[in-house]
Structure 1
């Protein structure tokens, strides 16, 4: 997909991507919006190298824009639910890149229902999910924070949710 904002692609994650992901996870504004506590470098790399990348249940892709690492999209199963998460670096916010990247990812990740749990004040993430047909179904608590529970339901034979 190419437009005036660059070519958005998904590809397999490489070890070199992890340092970029780490920097994005430590961006103070991203932390504020997501209410996600960034991990120290060693814990971050261990998480990705030991838990995420080798796990056949995790379906993860690097998002690139004109070849540069913009972030990642990942799905995994937790407590019987298939969840999706994404993280883009701040230079890629507000440019439609998240919309295009998640759209392409959802073409590849066919498991439904698919859930997401954005922090309740992360309006950009909420809008992104709604744009792709996710519907708010509940709230969930993570530590002391309220997150919204969204679901992308299965389509019936007529293409309806």
Structure 2
């Protein structure tokens, strides 16, 4: 399977919206919008995100399967990624994150994931991120406070 990144096209947004409304994926991600089904809020988020962050569409053999981004202030920039649940476990998130990291040579970079999100933590580990802290935060998708893992990728 060939994994590539490209700039986000407007036509990708309906796919991202569908992906962000998968109940199992939302639970796994945990830290999600308050109401993922609010299309106006989703569209506003993506307008804003595309203007302030480096955001890429993840393609698997040409099909839109997710997105990956780097955002934040220099020295505090974070990575984020989302892959359609139908594609989990195939190495797509790892390949996409590696490609994104090749585009962004700046270090350090940070990441956060629910402490029980073993899939995302494995992807981050394979890409060289190391745990630096644990925190607690309110996870909208779970309706409760949970433990979060904070990771860093050094130069």
Query: Does the alignment reach a TM-score above 0.5?
Result: yes
SS of corresponding position for 2:81: strand
TM-score normalised over the length of structure 1 = 0.86
1:41-63 superposed Cα distances (whole Å, 9 cap, x missing partner): 110111101x11122xx111000
- Is 1:64–2:59 an aligned residue pair? yes
Higher relative contact order (CA 8 A, sep 6+): 2
- Is 1:76–2:74 an aligned residue pair? no
Aligned length: 146
RMSD between aligned residues: 1.4
Gaps of 5+ in 1: 1-5, 155-161
Gaps of 5+ in 2: 139-144
- Is 1:93–2:94 an aligned residue pair? no
- Is 1:54–2:51 an aligned residue pair? yes
> Structure 1 CA distance, aligned partners of 2:80 and 2:126?
15
8 Å contact 2:75–2:107 — kept in the other structure? no
- Is 1:10–2:11 an aligned residue pair? no
Shift of residue 152, structure 1, vs aligned partner: 0.2
Q: Which has the larger radius of gyration?
A: 1
